[in-house]
Amino acid sequence: EAIDCRTLVPLQDTPSVKSTYSALIRSPRDIKVYMSAVNLGDRVEGNSRVTEFSLDVPIPSYLIALVAGDLEYKKLGRNTGVITEPVFMKACVDELSELQDSLDVAESFLTEYEWGMYTIVVLPPSFPFGGMENPLLTFASPTIIVGDKSQVNVASHEIAHSWTGNLVTNRNWENFWLNEGFTMWSERAIIRKQRGEEFYRVASALGNSSLYDDLNLYGYDSTFTSLHPNYAGANPYDTFSDVPYEKGFLFLTYIETLMGTENFEVFLRFYLEKYRRQSIVYSQFIETFLEFLDDNFSEQERNKIVTKIDFHTWIFGTGPPPVQLNFSTPNLEISRELADAYLLGNGTPKNYDVFFGYFSLLKCIFLQRLVDRAEDATIPILEQIDKDYTLTTTIDPEQKYLWLQLC
């Protein structure tokens, strides 16, 4: 995570150190201020507004956040809300109408939500910072406001961080996957329970594709393709990728397949309760996992699971994970086959209209296939695809990101 907090506060700017904090923020009278802390109220002093904040849950420095501007707050549910500029509020409220349900689903299989309120700040287009899991003040890019709720999985990811990352934190950045791998697993558990198995599998398949994009970019022997990379002498901004997210997700999902989803969720709660409000490293995860197996499985069952997990290769190995997981579905394969049919160069396929019935991520599967076979995508083929599907004018950021790689 960014280390800019040290420019704001004199502190030990490392995730190994957690602290509570309080703040008094003075702003121009018409400027509203919010922080990643509980708002204790504000008062007007002449031409200034003074707002008081306090957070009694210890957090690492990278989660201290502040936003100020012409902002408005709107409650969405029992303990959820949104902050944005007044002109964008209606669109944000409509798009994020399921936010409370997402938080409730997360709480149903994780532990109790400790932070009180959960609020998303939808940032202005002039500062489209990607999702950031600041407690009580999640930052979200305005690109998630599409109009069809197709990008709200970003909210599920940041909600999941309320437990993995914010409550249980990596002690150093070599263990970043403990933040992001667990959060990806929980994000997809949320959408699996909300949207069903196919949505979950398609999201996982796309994540797997993005993982291999990064593995190929770095090279399979690069330390940055490991879940425990060596950052010595490297610019941190050159090392950030989907590896800790997606390879970490695959590791945990593989463990889930060995012990069953219900047992894995019980383990996850045990892990969260044991390490809440602490910063840890990978060895503590392994120790806790083995402890859980000892306490909840017979010796025979335990050994059957453990002998199938090569912890060292999963965590320290470079390149692809040691086990490949299959997330395919019939519709996913049809979407890829549709892309292949276009790439034959024979014009519009007969079944081209199935695309219009796809949810956003299935459309991304189609586009990812085109990207993977970009050498076969001639200009006439791309023109035909755009004529059929008007992808150049889509406002869906994931689809546009893939489409523009082909243009």
What is the mean pLDDT, run by run of 10 residues, along the chain of 407 residues?
A: 82 94 97 97 96 98 96 97 97 95 98 97 84 94 88 90 98 97 98 96 96 97 98 88 98 99 98 98 98 98 98 98 97 97 96 95 97 96 98 93 94
Residues 6+ apart with CB under 8 A from 263: 296
> Which residues participate in the annotated binding site for Zn(2+)?
157, 161, 180
Cα(first)–Cα(last) distance of the chain, in Å? 32
Task: Characterise 65 by phi-psi region: left (phi > 0), alpha (psi -120 to 50), beta (else).
Answer: beta
- In this prediction, residue 86 carries a pLDDT of 96
pLDDT value of position 247: 99
Residues 134, 61: contact at Cβ < 8 Å? no
Sequence-distant (6+) residues with CB within 8 A of 64 are 5, 8, 9, 21, 35, 36, 134
The predicted pLDDT at position 135 comes to: 97
Question: Largest alpha-carbon pair distance within the chain?
Answer: 73
Residue-level pLDDT at 7:
87
Please give the pLDDT value at position 130: 75
Return the residue matching tokens 């287009």.
125
Tokens, residue 349: 């396929």
> Rounded to the nearest 5°, which phi and psi values hold at 224?
-75, -5
pLDDT score at 328: 96
Report the distance separating Cα 251 and Cα 309, nearest Å. Answer: 9
Distance (Å, rounded) from C-alpha 219 to C-alpha 389?
35
132: left (phi over 0), alpha (psi -120 to 50) or beta: beta
CA-CA-CA-CA torsion for 362, 368, 369, 372, nearest 10 degrees?
A: -170
Conformational region of residue 276, where left means phi above 0, alpha means psi within -120 to 50, and beta covers everything else = beta
Closest CA relative to residue 279, chosen from 15, 28, 5, 2: 15
Rounded Cα distance between 396 and 154, Å, is 13
Q: Catalytic residue positions?
A: 158, 245
Per DSSP, which regions of 352-391 are E strands?
none
Q: Position 64: which residue type?
A: I
Closest CA to 297 of 335, 337, 260, 268: 260
Amino acid 153: pLDDT: 82
Burial of 200-227, coded b for 16+ CB within 10 Å and e otherwise, reads bbbbbbbbbbebeebbeebeeebbbbbb
pLDDT for the residue 151: 83
Name the DSSP class of 232.
Answer: T
